Amino acid sequence: MGRVEVDGVVTVYEVTGEGPPVVLLHGFPDSGRLWRGQVPALADAGFQVIVPDLRGYGRSGKPAAVEAYSLLLIGADVTAVLADLGHKRAHVIGHDWGAALAWALASFAPDKVDHMAALSVGHPASFWRSPRQREKSWYMLLFQFPGIAERWLTEDNWANFRDWTGHPDTDGVIADLVADGSLTPGLNWYRANVPPETWVAPPLVLPPVQAPVMGVWSTGDMALTETQMTESARQVAGPWRYERLEGAGHWMQLEEPDQVNRLLLDFLPR
């Protein structure tokens, strides 16, 4: 287990295996434990697998200020982890908010990203293009209200959380959120990065992604449209690959780990 500190915020990370570095970035409401089905496969294939608990989750720091959860600040945490291990660049794989973070890193720190895989969440510039995606993202507005969002998710033994997410490891995730005090910090990612004014702002203009990118979307995703992923090709200057998983829900790496592992191992150079 490693620890690195940036501006007083500690990021804790695990390292497994030896070889070219691969960083796995989780999203809401998970911690690095999300990737337990991928770590052995990647390590056995000859990669050094780096799995942080991102800011606000698990054993890592949980600053109180909403603005502390800006993707640019969290990106600095990830690059600090790489520097702590002596790596100038790595393959980056992200899911949910971790995918948004991967897009940000590939755009603003292209020298740090070798190959990139985005699971579920497409490029930020393509996210709001579809009216259907805006409809599916209703919960992001709810999450803007401190206290109200927390109560909605947790009342009646987390009934709304269970019904809305359909997370395949609901009890385990809830136990971690309670034990680690991660619910409000996790919601602060939404408050810091998608406040209401961003819904009506002009589309983001980010530097084109130069790295080879694979986008993976699953047909059973309750929160994300296929379009927001396929339209991401417009934001990629390097090679683009799209994969569609039939039947899997939002947490594809838990529901179809073998398929996800096969895609990742086929995509990442060894």
Q: Active-site positions? A: 96, 250
Torsion angles phi and psi, residue 200, rounded to 5: -115, 0
CA distance 134 to 119: 19
Question: Cα–chain-centroid distance for residue 42?
Answer: 18
CA distance 257 to 254: 6
Q: Are 78 and 23 in contact (CB under 8 A)?
A: yes
Reading the block at residue 9, the tokens are 């915020």
CA distance 77 to 248: 31
Q: At what angle do helices 71-84 and 97-108 cross, to 10 degrees?
A: 80
Q: Are 61 and 11 in contact (CB under 8 A)?
A: yes
CA atoms within 13 A on the CB side of 199: 15
Q: Are 168 and 249 in contact (CB under 8 A)?
A: yes
3-state secondary structure of 16: strand
Reading the block at residue 259, the tokens are 């398929």
Burial of 7 (0-12, 13-18, 19+ CB in 10 A): exposed
